[in-house]
Structure 1
Amino acid sequence: MKRILIATALALALGFAAAGASAQYTGPSAVPVMTVKALQADGKDDQHAVLRGKIVSSVGDERYLFSDGTGQMKVKIKARLWPAQKPVDAQTTVELVGEYDKKLIGESHFDVKEIRLQ
Protein backbone atom coordinates (compact mmCIF):
# COMPACT_ATOMS: atom_id res chain seq x y z
CA MET A 1 0.00 0.00 0.00
CA LYS A 2 2.82 2.37 0.89
CA ARG A 3 4.47 1.72 -2.49
CA ILE A 4 1.25 2.50 -4.33
CA LEU A 5 0.88 5.82 -2.50
CA ILE A 6 4.50 6.77 -3.26
CA ALA A 7 4.11 5.79 -6.92
CA THR A 8 0.87 7.78 -7.21
CA ALA A 9 2.41 10.85 -5.57
CA LEU A 10 5.42 10.62 -7.88
CA ALA A 11 3.20 10.30 -10.97
CA LEU A 12 1.14 13.32 -9.92
CA ALA A 13 4.26 15.41 -9.26
CA LEU A 14 5.73 14.53 -12.65
CA GLY A 15 2.41 15.29 -14.35
CA PHE A 16 2.22 18.75 -12.77
CA ALA A 17 5.85 19.47 -13.67
CA ALA A 18 5.25 18.52 -17.30
CA ALA A 19 2.09 20.65 -17.48
CA GLY A 20 3.95 23.67 -16.14
CA ALA A 21 6.82 23.21 -18.59
CA SER A 22 4.52 23.55 -21.60
CA ALA A 23 2.84 26.77 -20.43
CA GLN A 24 3.95 30.06 -21.98
CA TYR A 25 3.62 33.60 -20.73
CA THR A 26 1.84 35.75 -23.32
CA GLY A 27 1.51 39.06 -21.47
CA PRO A 28 3.51 42.28 -21.81
CA SER A 29 7.29 42.32 -21.64
CA ALA A 30 9.98 44.80 -20.64
CA VAL A 31 12.07 43.63 -23.62
CA PRO A 32 11.55 46.21 -26.39
CA VAL A 33 10.37 45.49 -29.91
CA MET A 34 13.10 46.94 -32.12
CA THR A 35 13.79 47.30 -35.81
CA VAL A 36 16.77 45.73 -37.51
CA LYS A 37 18.02 49.19 -38.44
CA ALA A 38 17.88 50.43 -34.81
CA LEU A 39 19.48 47.28 -33.41
CA GLN A 40 22.35 47.38 -35.90
CA ALA A 41 22.92 51.11 -35.29
CA ASP A 42 22.57 51.31 -31.50
CA GLY A 43 22.47 47.73 -30.21
CA LYS A 44 24.85 46.53 -27.53
CA ASP A 45 26.39 43.07 -27.32
CA ASP A 46 24.05 40.62 -25.53
CA GLN A 47 21.18 43.13 -25.61
CA HIS A 48 17.77 41.49 -25.25
CA ALA A 49 15.28 42.48 -27.94
CA VAL A 50 12.25 41.40 -29.94
CA LEU A 51 12.25 41.63 -33.74
CA ARG A 52 9.03 41.52 -35.79
CA GLY A 53 9.16 40.61 -39.48
CA LYS A 54 9.79 37.68 -41.81
CA ILE A 55 12.43 35.00 -42.15
CA VAL A 56 13.16 35.30 -45.85
CA SER A 57 15.71 32.54 -46.44
CA SER A 58 17.97 29.92 -44.95
CA VAL A 59 21.71 30.56 -45.22
CA GLY A 60 22.74 27.22 -43.65
CA ASP A 61 23.96 25.93 -40.28
CA GLU A 62 20.93 27.12 -38.25
CA ARG A 63 21.29 30.63 -39.71
CA TYR A 64 18.58 32.52 -41.55
CA LEU A 65 18.11 35.92 -43.15
CA PHE A 66 15.51 38.02 -41.36
CA SER A 67 13.87 41.18 -42.74
CA ASP A 68 11.54 43.70 -41.10
CA GLY A 69 11.31 46.35 -43.82
CA THR A 70 14.03 48.54 -42.25
CA GLY A 71 16.88 46.16 -43.02
CA GLN A 72 18.10 42.58 -43.00
CA MET A 73 20.04 40.64 -40.39
CA LYS A 74 21.25 37.10 -39.98
CA VAL A 75 19.57 35.25 -37.13
CA LYS A 76 20.57 31.99 -35.49
CA ILE A 77 17.69 29.62 -34.70
CA LYS A 78 18.24 26.20 -33.14
CA ALA A 79 16.12 23.40 -34.61
CA ARG A 80 14.26 22.76 -31.32
CA LEU A 81 12.83 26.32 -31.36
CA TRP A 82 10.77 25.99 -34.54
CA PRO A 83 7.03 25.81 -33.79
CA ALA A 84 5.56 22.36 -34.35
CA GLN A 85 1.99 23.49 -34.90
CA LYS A 86 2.55 25.51 -38.10
CA PRO A 87 5.33 25.62 -40.71
CA VAL A 88 7.10 28.95 -41.19
CA ASP A 89 7.87 30.28 -44.67
CA ALA A 90 8.96 33.60 -46.18
CA GLN A 91 5.36 34.93 -45.97
CA THR A 92 4.89 34.17 -42.25
CA THR A 93 5.18 37.13 -39.88
CA VAL A 94 7.07 36.20 -36.72
CA GLU A 95 8.35 37.77 -33.54
CA LEU A 96 11.85 36.67 -32.63
CA VAL A 97 12.82 37.01 -28.97
CA GLY A 98 16.53 36.84 -28.25
CA GLU A 99 19.88 38.56 -27.86
CA TYR A 100 21.95 40.66 -30.25
CA ASP A 101 25.41 39.15 -30.71
CA LYS A 102 27.46 42.18 -31.74
CA LYS A 103 30.85 41.31 -33.21
CA LEU A 104 33.76 43.72 -33.43
CA ILE A 105 35.28 41.57 -36.16
CA GLY A 106 33.00 39.54 -38.37
CA GLU A 107 29.26 39.65 -38.86
CA SER A 108 26.88 40.41 -36.00
CA HIS A 109 23.70 38.34 -35.69
CA PHE A 110 20.61 37.86 -33.53
CA ASP A 111 20.58 34.72 -31.35
CA VAL A 112 16.94 33.61 -31.17
CA LYS A 113 15.58 32.17 -27.90
CA GLU A 114 11.89 32.00 -28.89
CA ILE A 115 9.79 32.23 -32.06
CA ARG A 116 6.25 33.62 -31.83
CA LEU A 117 3.91 33.28 -34.80
CA GLN A 118 1.84 36.39 -35.58
Structure 2
Amino acid sequence: MLKKIAATLLVASGVMCAASTAQAQYTGPSQAVSYKNVAEILKNPVDDTRVTLRGKIINRISNDMYQFTDGTGTIKVEIDEEDFAGQRVDANTQVEIWGKVDKDLMRAPEIDVKRLTVIR
Protein backbone atom coordinates (compact mmCIF):
# COMPACT_ATOMS: atom_id res chain seq x y z
CA MET A 1 0.00 0.00 0.00
CA LEU A 2 2.80 2.45 0.91
CA LYS A 3 4.62 1.61 -2.34
CA LYS A 4 1.46 2.43 -4.31
CA ILE A 5 1.03 5.78 -2.52
CA ALA A 6 4.72 6.63 -3.00
CA ALA A 7 4.50 5.77 -6.72
CA THR A 8 1.36 7.94 -7.10
CA LEU A 9 3.08 10.88 -5.37
CA LEU A 10 6.17 10.47 -7.54
CA VAL A 11 4.10 10.52 -10.73
CA ALA A 12 2.08 13.52 -9.51
CA SER A 13 5.21 15.51 -8.64
CA GLY A 14 6.70 14.68 -12.05
CA VAL A 15 3.57 15.94 -13.80
CA MET A 16 3.62 19.14 -11.73
CA CYS A 17 7.30 19.73 -12.57
CA ALA A 18 6.64 19.17 -16.27
CA ALA A 19 3.68 21.55 -16.16
CA SER A 20 5.67 24.28 -14.43
CA THR A 21 8.56 23.85 -16.89
CA ALA A 22 6.22 24.18 -19.86
CA GLN A 23 4.89 27.46 -18.48
CA ALA A 24 8.33 28.93 -17.75
CA GLN A 25 8.97 30.38 -21.21
CA TYR A 26 9.60 34.11 -21.54
CA THR A 27 8.53 35.55 -24.88
CA GLY A 28 8.56 39.29 -24.16
CA PRO A 29 11.13 41.97 -24.99
CA SER A 30 14.75 41.60 -23.99
CA GLN A 31 17.64 43.93 -23.32
CA ALA A 32 20.13 41.31 -24.49
CA VAL A 33 22.44 42.50 -27.25
CA SER A 34 22.18 40.84 -30.65
CA TYR A 35 24.22 41.61 -33.72
CA LYS A 36 23.29 41.36 -37.40
CA ASN A 37 26.77 42.03 -38.80
CA VAL A 38 30.43 42.85 -38.13
CA ALA A 39 29.86 46.61 -38.25
CA GLU A 40 27.45 46.40 -35.30
CA ILE A 41 29.95 44.35 -33.29
CA LEU A 42 32.74 46.84 -33.95
CA LYS A 43 30.51 49.78 -33.04
CA ASN A 44 29.37 48.41 -29.68
CA PRO A 45 31.16 45.18 -28.65
CA VAL A 46 29.76 43.34 -25.64
CA ASP A 47 31.97 40.55 -24.27
CA ASP A 48 30.64 36.98 -24.45
CA THR A 49 27.68 37.88 -26.69
CA ARG A 50 26.82 34.94 -28.94
CA VAL A 51 26.92 35.69 -32.66
CA THR A 52 26.15 33.98 -35.95
CA LEU A 53 27.64 35.61 -39.04
CA ARG A 54 27.95 34.81 -42.74
CA GLY A 55 30.90 35.98 -44.78
CA LYS A 56 34.41 35.02 -45.82
CA ILE A 57 37.69 34.31 -44.09
CA ILE A 58 39.98 36.54 -46.12
CA ASN A 59 43.37 36.16 -44.47
CA ARG A 60 45.30 34.01 -42.01
CA ILE A 61 47.07 36.16 -39.43
CA SER A 62 48.65 33.46 -37.25
CA ASN A 63 48.21 29.82 -36.26
CA ASP A 64 44.54 30.10 -35.25
CA MET A 65 43.78 33.79 -35.95
CA TYR A 66 42.11 34.95 -39.16
CA GLN A 67 40.41 38.01 -40.66
CA PHE A 68 36.70 37.64 -41.39
CA THR A 69 34.47 39.96 -43.39
CA ASP A 70 30.75 40.01 -44.05
CA GLY A 71 30.91 43.06 -46.30
CA THR A 72 30.10 45.52 -43.50
CA GLY A 73 33.48 45.34 -41.79
CA THR A 74 36.46 43.15 -40.97
CA ILE A 75 37.13 41.49 -37.60
CA LYS A 76 39.68 39.05 -36.24
CA VAL A 77 38.34 35.57 -35.57
CA GLU A 78 39.99 32.80 -33.58
CA ILE A 79 39.29 29.42 -35.15
CA ASP A 80 40.84 26.25 -33.75
CA GLU A 81 41.89 23.65 -36.33
CA GLU A 82 39.22 21.18 -35.19
CA ASP A 83 36.49 23.80 -35.79
CA PHE A 84 37.19 23.58 -39.54
CA ALA A 85 36.08 19.92 -39.24
CA GLY A 86 38.00 18.93 -42.37
CA GLN A 87 36.26 21.56 -44.51
CA ARG A 88 38.46 23.29 -47.09
CA VAL A 89 38.17 27.07 -46.91
CA ASP A 90 39.87 29.78 -48.96
CA ALA A 91 39.33 33.54 -49.36
CA ASN A 92 36.42 32.94 -51.79
CA THR A 93 34.53 30.40 -49.65
CA GLN A 94 31.26 31.61 -48.09
CA VAL A 95 31.05 30.42 -44.47
CA GLU A 96 28.79 30.74 -41.47
CA ILE A 97 30.46 31.11 -38.09
CA TRP A 98 28.99 30.69 -34.60
CA GLY A 99 30.88 32.03 -31.63
CA LYS A 100 31.23 34.65 -28.93
CA VAL A 101 32.47 38.23 -28.96
CA ASP A 102 35.79 38.52 -27.15
CA LYS A 103 36.28 42.10 -25.97
CA ASP A 104 39.30 43.26 -24.02
CA LEU A 105 40.07 46.85 -22.97
CA MET A 106 43.48 46.89 -24.60
CA ARG A 107 42.61 45.51 -28.06
CA ALA A 108 39.97 45.47 -30.77
CA PRO A 109 37.09 43.00 -30.37
CA GLU A 110 37.43 39.52 -31.83
CA ILE A 111 35.17 36.52 -32.34
CA ASP A 112 36.03 33.22 -30.64
CA VAL A 113 34.56 30.79 -33.17
CA LYS A 114 33.00 27.60 -31.81
CA ARG A 115 31.66 26.23 -35.11
CA LEU A 116 32.18 26.92 -38.80
CA THR A 117 30.10 25.70 -41.73
CA VAL A 118 30.80 26.11 -45.43
CA ILE A 119 27.78 27.58 -47.23
CA ARG A 120 27.18 25.80 -50.52
TM-score by length of 1: 0.68
- Distance, in Å, in 2 between the alignment partners of 1:33 and 1:114 is 17
Deviation at 1:98, TM superposition (A): 0.2
For structure 1, the 5+ residue unaligned runs are: 1-31
* Residue aligning to 1:66: 68
Deviation at 1:61, TM superposition (A): 2.5
1:43 counterpart = 2:53: no
Residues 42-75 of structure 1, C-alpha deviation per residue, up to 9 Å, x if partnerless? 2310000111100001001200000111010000
- Distance, in Å, in 1 between the alignment partners of 2:43 and 2:94 is 23
* Residue aligning to 2:58: 56
Structure 1 runs of 4+ aligned residues shifted over 3 Å read: none
For structure 2, the 5+ residue unaligned runs are: 1-33
- Distance, in Å, in 2 between the alignment partners of 1:33 and 1:105 is 22
Deviation at 1:36, TM superposition (A): 0.5
Deviation at 1:104, TM superposition (A): 1.1
- Distance, in Å, in 2 between the alignment partners of 1:88 and 1:33 is 24
Asked whether the 8 Å contact 2:93–2:118 carries over to 1, the reply is: yes
Asked whether the 8 Å contact 2:47–2:103 carries over to 1, the reply is: yes
Deviation at 1:39, TM superposition (A): 1.1
TM-score by length of 2: 0.67
- Distance, in Å, in 1 between the alignment partners of 2:57 and 2:77 is 9
Matches within 5 A, 1:11-90: 34-84=36-86, 86-90=87-91
Q: Cα RMSD (Å) of the superposition?
A: 1.7
Identity of aligned residues (%): 35
**Which has the greater radius of gyration?**
2
Q: How many residues align?
A: 87
